[in-house]
Every structure is written in C-alpha cells, then in structure tokens.
C-alpha cells in the first residue's frame, strides 16, 4: 500500500504546479479588473472596476478586431470543412485514379511550416492586389486547413463500412446526396475535431495576418493586441482587459468541447 507521506507529497507537488500554471491567468484577470489610470504598475489590491473592458472595446478598437477575426475564422472554418469533406470522400470512397497523390500532397502540405511559405505567399498575392484584404488572411489559411482536413477526414471515411456508401448508391441516391445525407453524419465526431482545431489555429494565427495586413481597420485580434501593447505598454488594466477579450472565445470553446480537444492532441501528430 502507498504510504500516506508519498500520497501527500504527490498532492503537494501537483498543487504547486497548478499554482504556477494558473498564476499568470489569475494575474491577467485581476489586472483587468483594476481601474484605468488607477496605479502606476501592477498591484494585487485595488478597487474593482470594469472600465478597462469598455476602454479596450471602444478606444482600443477591439470591437473592430473581434469582428475581423470572426469574419476570417468563420470563413476559413466553413470553407475548409466543406472542401475537406468532399476531398476526403473522393480519396477514401470513390478513389478515382491518382487520388493517392492528393493524399500525399495534403500530408506534405500541412507539415510545411508557415515560415517556409510566407514569403512566396506574399509575392503571389501582391500582384493580384489581395495584400491588405481579408482574402490574404483567409486563402492561405484555408489551404493549410484543407491539407490537414483532407488527411484527417479520409481516415474517418475509411473506417466506415464499404456497404454504407454502396447501398446508398444502389438505392438510387446520387453520390452527392449519399455524401451529405449518409456519409457525413456518420463522421460527425471527426468533423467536430477538425472544426475545433481549425478554429483554434485561425483565431491564434499571427504571422500571416501580421505580414499580409498593414491597414489598421483590417487588423485581427492577435495583431491588434500586439499593436495595442506597443502603444499602451504601461496601461496595464486596458492591456489585460484586451487580452481577456482576445483569449476568452477560445477558452469558452475549450470548456464546451474538452473531449474534442484531447483527440485534437493526437490529430496534431497524425503522421505518428
């Protein structure tokens, strides 16, 4: 049997680790609740106030940044999910000659780091007058997400029994109807995982929007926050409030889909 001492030691060690993990987040929340211009630095005790959130939302322009991020994220998630479902169904079920090649290209494509592609992306989109538009943040992000989604969803399609699609087709349904009515509902968990991951990636993406957009009215939350930090570096309460506005949507999604997020972990290393 385990000794009482060992059990206690484990619990204390985990407790310390939890404090270290949560301290930065607690500091963020506490600072965001302090009054604007109330103090010169970060303090633990202060009167509580929500005015920093209002300041960040209006004067800090975070309302605009949130809208931009929402436009980019929703477009990327919806388009890449639809295109990935279609491509994965073709690769896994219909198997036209050469479909394997698409699979290999998508594996290769989603392993490529943004850093390797960012320079050519810029010089591709510049002559098309797409730099400094939403498209410059959306299109490359869709490409990376489709590369991942095609690989991830074809595994799910492959796991379905072959009879499922064949019987649907034999019943006279077109392949299009069979895909959306019969096949897609059956891989809903894999699609949810993909959507959660693409949402997280796109909301968090920084390098792509930083490079592609210099017009402030098109800033997404990450670039907007970074820029706000540069101009308001000692307005701690406003900076903390802005940070919470930026981080909260992802945290909320996390709390509502913890299970998906755990399988996302494995999804991130699918080559494994």
Partner 1 sequence: MDDVVLTERARGVDRERAQPRRSRFRPGAARRADILWGYLLLLPAMAFLAVLLVEPFIKALQYSLESWDGIGPARYVGFANYKQLWTDPVERDSLVHLAILFCFYSLIPTAAGLAAAAAIRRGSRRGMSFFRVAFFLPQVIVTVVAAIVWTWILAPSGPATLNGLLHALGLGPAVGRPWLGNFNTAIVAVGLIAVWLDFGLCFVLFLAGIQRIGPDLYDAARMDGAGLFREFTSLTVPLLRREIGAALTISVVAALQSFTLIYQATDGGPGYATMVPGLLVYRYGFQLGEVGAASALGIAMAVIIFGLTFGIRALIERKAT
Residues 55-94 that bind partner 1 (CB under 8 A): 83-84, 86-87, 89-91, 94
**Contact call for residue 219 and partner 1 (CB under 8 A):** no
How far is residue 15's CA from residue 170's CA, in Å, rounded to a whole number? 60
User: Is residue 47 a contact residue for partner 1 (CB under 8 A)?
Assistant: no
Residues 5-34 touching partner 1, rule: CB under 8 A, are: 6-7, 10-11, 13-14, 17-18, 20-25, 27-28, 31
Regarding 127 and contact with partner 1 (CB under 8 A), the answer is no
Report d(CA 225, CA 234) in Å as an integer: 14
Among 107, 130, 164, 182, binds partner 1 (CB under 8 A): 107
For partner 1, which stretch binds (CB under 8 A), given 53-61, 70-78, 183-191, 220-228?
Answer: 220-228
CA–CA gap between residue 203 and residue 237 (Å, rounded): 23
Burial-class residue 182 by CB neighbours within 10 Å (0-12, 13-18, 19+). middle
Q: Is 231 in the site for partner 1 (CB under 8 A)?
A: no
Q: Tell the residue number behind the tokens 């279609």, with chain if given.
A: 86
Footprint of partner 1 on 135-164 (CB under 8 A): 139-140, 142-144, 146-147, 150, 155, 158, 162
How many residues interact with partner 1 (rule CB under 8 A)?
105
Could you tell me if 196 and 253 are in contact, meaning their C-beta atoms sit under 8 angstroms apart? yes
With CB under 8 A as the contact rule, the residue among 106, 184, 235, 260 that binds partner 1 is 106
Rounded to whole angstroms, the Cα distance separating 165 from 38 reads 65
CB of 172 to partner 1, least distance (A): 11
In three-state secondary structure terms, 138 is helix
The least distance separating partner 1 from the CB of residue 217, rounded to whole angstroms, comes to 19
In this structure, the number of other CB atoms found within 10 A of the CB of residue 148 comes to: 23
The end-to-end CA distance of the chain, in Å, is: 37
- Residue 114 interacts with partner 1 (CB under 8 A): yes or no: yes
CA distances in angstroms from 170 to 14, 165, 173, 176, listed in the order given: 58, 9, 7, 13
Q: Binding partner 1 by CB under 8 A: which of 71, 117, 130, 173? A: 117
Given candidates 36, 99, 164, 173, which one binds partner 1 under the rule CB under 8 A?
99
Quick check: 227 and 242 in contact, CB under 8 A?
A: no
d(CA 15, CA 44): 21
Tell whether residue 226 is a contact of partner 1 (CB under 8 A): yes
* Residue 193 makes contact with partner 1 by CB under 8 A: no
């Amino acid at each position: 049997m385990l000794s009482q001492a060992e059990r206690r030691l484990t619990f204390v060690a985990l407790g310390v680790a939890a404090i270290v993990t949560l301290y930065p987040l607690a500091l963020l929340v506490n600072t965001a609740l302090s009054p604007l211009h109330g103090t010169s630095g970060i303090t633990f005790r202060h009167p509580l106030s929500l005015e920093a959130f209002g300041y960040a939302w209006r004067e800090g322009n975070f309302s605009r940044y949130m809208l931009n991020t929402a436009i980019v994220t929703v477009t990327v998630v919806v388009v890449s999910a639809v295109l990935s479902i279609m491509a994965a169904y073709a690769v896994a079920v219909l198997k036209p000659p050469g479909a394997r090649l698409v699979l290999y290209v998508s594996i290769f494509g989603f392993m490529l780091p943004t850093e390797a592609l960012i320079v050519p992306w810029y010089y591709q989109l510049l002559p098309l007058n797409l730099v400094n538009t939403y498209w410059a943040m959306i299109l490359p992000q869709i490409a990376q997400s489709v590369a991942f989604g095609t690989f991830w969803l074809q595994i799910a399609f492959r796991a379905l029994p072959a009879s499922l699609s064949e019987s649907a087709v034999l019943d006279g349904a077109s392949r299009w109807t069979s895909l959306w009515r019969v096949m897609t509902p059956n891989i809903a968990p894999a699609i949810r995982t993909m959507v959660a991951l693409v949402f997280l990636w796109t909301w968090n993406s920084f390098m792509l929007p930083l490079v592609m957009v210099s017009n402030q009215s098109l800033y997404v939350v990450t670039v907007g926050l970074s820029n706000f930090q540069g101009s308001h570096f000692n307005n701690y309460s406003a900076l903390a409030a802005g940070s919470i506005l930026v981080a909260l949507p992802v945290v909320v999604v996390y709390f509502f889909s913890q299970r998906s997020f755990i399988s996302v972990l494995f999804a991130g290393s699918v080559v494994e």
